[in-house]
Amino acid sequence: MSGESIYEFSAQDTKGNETSMADYQGKVLLIVNTASKCGFTPQFEGLQALHDQLGEQGFEVLGFPCNQFMNQDPGSDDAISQFCSLNYGVNFPMFAKIEVNGEGTHPLFRFLKKEAKGLMGSEKVKWNFTKFLVNREGQVVRRYAPTAKPADIRADIEKLL
Catalogue the active-site residues: 38
Sheet of strand 59-65: strand arrangement? 59-65, 28-34, 131-134, 140-144
CA distance 42 to 36: 9
Angle between helices 77-88 and 43-54 (to 10 degrees): 70
Instruction: Return all residues near 137 (Cβ < 8 A) that are at least 6 apart.
Output: 5
Distance CA 9, CA 28 (A): 16
Q: At how many degrees (to 10) do helices 43-54 and 150-160 cross?
A: 30
**Which bin fits 129, alpha (ψ -120 to 50), beta or left (φ > 0)?**
left
